[in-house]
Amino acid sequence: MQQFGTSKNEHERAAATYILGYISDSDSCLDCIKESLDPFTNFLIDRMQDDSLIVREAAGETVGRFCENLTGDFIGLHKKIMPCLIRVAQDLAESKHDMT
């Protein structure tokens, strides 16, 4: 995750970020993510501040998956997450990029 999440290729960074959201499902690696929630949250915050709109969009979607799957554990970190997430939403709203 770290290797591709910090790649020079924006599509690799976005893919690593999307995958993190998908594996946060209870049928996948939910327990592993819960055990390392702080580093994963920092990873997401870094991706939400990425130069690439594609990566920031992937991070925003992954935050949604974390909220759905990790509920209270992740939502308790809202003071770290929300400022970045709001910037991502504003950037997407102002861009000509098709939003998901």
pLDDT confidence of residue 61? 92
pLDDT confidence of residue 96? 67
Which pTM was predicted? 0.81
Main-chain phi, psi angles of 19, to 5 degrees: -60, -40
Taking 50 as the pLDDT cut, the residues of the chain under it are none
pLDDT confidence of residue 79? 84
Rounded Cα–Cα distance for residues 57 and 48 (Å):
8
pLDDT confidence of residue 43? 94
3-state SS, one letter per residue, for 75-93: HCCHHHHHHHHHHHHHHHH
What residue spans define the domains of the chain?
2-94
DSSP 11-34: HHHHHHHHHHHHTTSTTTTHHHHH
pLDDT confidence of residue 98? 61
Rounded Cα–Cα distance for residues 45 and 36 (Å):
15
pLDDT confidence of residue 31? 85
Looking at residue 51, what DSSP letter applies? S
